[in-house]
Amino acid sequence: MFQTFDSAGDPAVGKPRVALLRQWLSDNGLDGFIVPRADEHQGEYVADRSARLKWLTGFSGSAGVAVVLRDRAFVFVDGRYTLQVRNEVDLGIFSIESLVDNPPAVWLRDNIGKGARLGLDPWLHTISEVKALQASADKTGAVLVPLDRNPIDIIWKDQPPAPVTPVELHPIGFAGELAKDKLARLATAIGKDGATHAVLTDPSSIAWAFNIRGGDVPHTPLALGFAILAADGSHQLFMDRRKFSRQVAAYLTQLADPHEPGEFDAAIVALAKSGAKIALDPVLAADRLRMLVEDNGGTVIAAPDPARIPRATKNQAETNGSRAAHRRDGAAVAKLLCWLDRQQPGSLDEIAVVTRLEETRRQTGEETQMPLRDVSFDTISGAGPNGAIMHYRVSRATSRKLQAGELFLLDSGAQYQDGTTDITRTVPIGQPTEEMRERFTLVLKGMIGISTLRFPAGTRGSEIDAVARMALWKHGCDFAHGTGHGVGSYLAVHEGPQRIARTGTEKLLEGMMLSNEPGYYKEGAYGIRIENLILVTPAEQIEGGDIAMHGFETLTLAPIDVRLVRSDLLTRDELHWLDTYHARVLTEIGPMLDGETLAWLEKATAPLPHDAKI
């Protein structure tokens, strides 16, 4: 729970462990093996037992793949991790490839020859991933070999056991809907998809559907397991019953037939043999499930996880809970920023700030009778050049002092029972340069552009992503990550399917929560990111307009550092938004503060001079 500061990744592990894997491949007639950063549930966080990619390579990021051949080895990462991966893996063993521009399914066509046998664990690759890999293998004449047991699990002698953290019930006051009613809705959706059953492989969907939470993975209150939902309401839940108290067991038994995880395969096989039509989400479900269904006479219905959209479109209880969580969290962040302002440059390191922020959130939670349950992800606390590493994870080996003349980027979040938060603020340590102020203001313009956007029903995240980049593009700048990700309700801080990005193909619906976080990163110098969470509002008519338009409600409540703002680069409307936002911050979190912190907040949220010309 909470953040540790051990070394994020150790490059020294690669050489001996790759040697062990290559020996196993040779002994078993394989020419290579694919190691994704994934477990059987395809979640962002994995239990220690499933951290196979980190164990093999040293890379600790949340997205990546390794391909180990007999004479070469590769690690694929996206733009967030291009700097981090080079610090965490042995570059004498691994070559670095782009997970976006040259993913394994594309790379395979040019690097795996005819007749080569490439192993994979079908539990760790989705149906869509294996389909893409198979298409490339067919073009080159290579052979994909699904394995019954993962070789990493064989050579990893001290692999941790599966987690058995207790399951807890999520109260109706926070959930907003009874689990039996959610499950009835899902059963109806399954029938409409033409299926008799649907498999929930995503623990977030199981947590939402059954109104339960757990603690099997870091920073996300999930209980690992599977569920088979039936159109006729005869649901089955597969979860280690050592996680259940008597109360939880009695509750869940009313909703589904409980089974141990080891019975899951047999249940799928039995349904398949009975002729069941089983819905599997191609982008979430393991290919192993497809194999079990099709190899035993069943029919796979390719359909999205039926819980994903209902889970993503928050109800009134969930949105009210999020608003309360953000007021509490904003007060904690304001306390931290006030404290940070009082410190002398060079007196703090990155770890000290993370530790203080966690303490402040705990204290604020205790004062408001809503305890901090966990951080929602490892805090990104990046001083100077570390701030340019988009998903930097501070460790004792990398922690830098906050020095005068640098920028400090703090990206953090919290898990409360009533909501999940995620906020980034960038602050100057001492006097910022004019370049820093200009770049910060360009980023701010993009963030305000998203905040104030109106858009018609049916708009997708990909269609508005450019709004956050326009000011940066005009100055020849950009950022190598999406503008926004979905956010759960006391669930995953990175929740799909909604997102604002070039790849954001899902329609933005009323009640969806997302982040709004454009940035700018100058390698070796500094990073800038400004992040608020936003909520899609109901479509409303605009005076004089023809059609109703959705908009965004900003949930996050904490000051944006105006010392970095060049007001002459903002339009009058942008300045008005900033002043109005700051007035709201003062009104909503001011009553939770007093003394020196309240005085600091009043100054930090004071209106800016209106130098805008437009």
**Model pLDDT for residues 68-121, shown as the tens digit of each residue:** 999 999 999 987 788 788 889 999 999 999 998 999 999 999 899 899 999 999
Contacts of 474 (CB under 8 A, 6+ apart): none
Residues 530/424, Cβ–Cβ less than 8 Å = yes
The SS3 call for residue 566 is coil
pLDDT in tens, 364-407: 999 989 999 999 999 999 999 999 988 888 888 889 999 999 99
State the average pLDDT for the chain: 95
Nearest-angstrom CA–CA distance, 550 and 459:
9
CB atoms within 10 A of CB 273: 12
Task: Inform me whether the pLDDT recorded for 610 exceeds 80.
Answer: no
What whole-number percentage of the chain has pLDDT above 90?
91
181: Cα within 13 Å, side-chain hemisphere = 6
pLDDT in tens, 157-184: 999 999 999 999 999 999 999 999 999 9
* Tokens linked to 51: 């951290």
Nearest-angstrom CA–CA distance, 477 and 530:
16
Indicate the residue type of 610: H
pLDDT value at position 611?
62
Residues 442/550, Cβ–Cβ less than 8 Å = no
Residues 228/197, Cβ–Cβ less than 8 Å = yes
Nearest-angstrom CA–CA distance, 450 and 556:
14
Taking the model in full, what pTM does it have?
A: 0.94
- Give whichever of 8-17, 101-110, 407-416 has the largest mean pLDDT: 407-416
The DSSP secondary structure of 100-148, one letter per residue, reads: TTS-HHHHHHHHS-TT-EEEE-TTSSBHHHHHHHHHHHHHHT-EEEE-S
Nearest-angstrom CA–CA distance, 10 and 55:
9
Nearest-angstrom CA–CA distance, 113 and 97:
19
Task: Inform me whether the pLDDT recorded for 614 exceeds 60.
Answer: no
* For range 59-71, the mean pLDDT: 93
Positive or negative, the CA dihedral 469, 472, 474, 477 is negative
Nearest-angstrom CA–CA distance, 555 and 562:
20
Q: Facing residues of 534 across strands?
A: 514, 554
Contacts of 182 (CB under 8 A, 6+ apart): 208, 209, 211, 307, 310
- The DSSP bridge pattern shows strands 526-529 and 519-522 to be antiparallel
